[in-house]
Amino acid sequence: MIAQLRGDIVQLDEAGLVIDVGGVGYAVTISGKTRAGLGGGDAAVTLLTEMQVREDSMTLFGFVDAAEREAFRLLVTVQGVGAKAAMAILTVLGPDEIAAAVMSGDKAMVARADGVGPKLAQRIVNELAGKIGSLPVAGGAGLSVAGAPADDGNVGADAMSALVNLGYGRAEAHAALQKARAAGAGDDLSALIAASLQELGQ
Asked if 126 and 158 sit in the same domain, the reply is no
Q: Residue 70 is part of which domain span?
A: 66-140
Q: What is the pLDDT of residue 202?
A: 56
The total number of structural domains that make up the chain: 3
pLDDT at 197 over 60: yes
Q: How confident is the model at residue 147 (pLDDT cuts 50, 70, 90)?
A: very low
CA distances from 107 to 113, 116, 126, 143, 146 (A): 11, 10, 9, 19, 17
Asked if 130 and 153 sit in the same domain, the reply is no
Residue percentage of the chain with pLDDT more than 70: 86
Q: How confident is the model at residue 41 (pLDDT cuts 50, 70, 90)?
A: low
Do residues 128 and 102 touch, judged by C-beta distance below 8 A? yes
Residue 9: phi and psi, rounded to 5, are -75, 120
Domain boundary among 90, 113, 140: 140
Do residues 22 and 7 touch, judged by C-beta distance below 8 A? yes
Q: What is the pLDDT of residue 135?
A: 56
The strand pairing partners of 7, in sequence order, are: 45
Domain boundary among 93, 120, 140: 140
Q: Looking at residue 42, what DSSP letter applies? A: -
Asked if 77 and 124 sit in the same domain, the reply is yes
Asked if 20 and 44 sit in the same domain, the reply is yes
- Alpha-carbon gap, residue 126 to 80, rounded angstroms: 13
E-strand ranges in 24-138 read 24-30, 44-54, 57-63, 135-136
For 3-22, how does the pLDDT look when each residue is reduced to its tens digit (9 = 90+)? 999 999 998 888 799 999 99
Asked if 133 and 152 sit in the same domain, the reply is no
For 112-137, how does the pLDDT look when each residue is reduced to its tens digit (9 = 90+)? 999 999 999 999 998 888 776 555 54
Do residues 187 and 116 touch, judged by C-beta distance below 8 A? no
Domain boundary among 37, 64, 91: 64
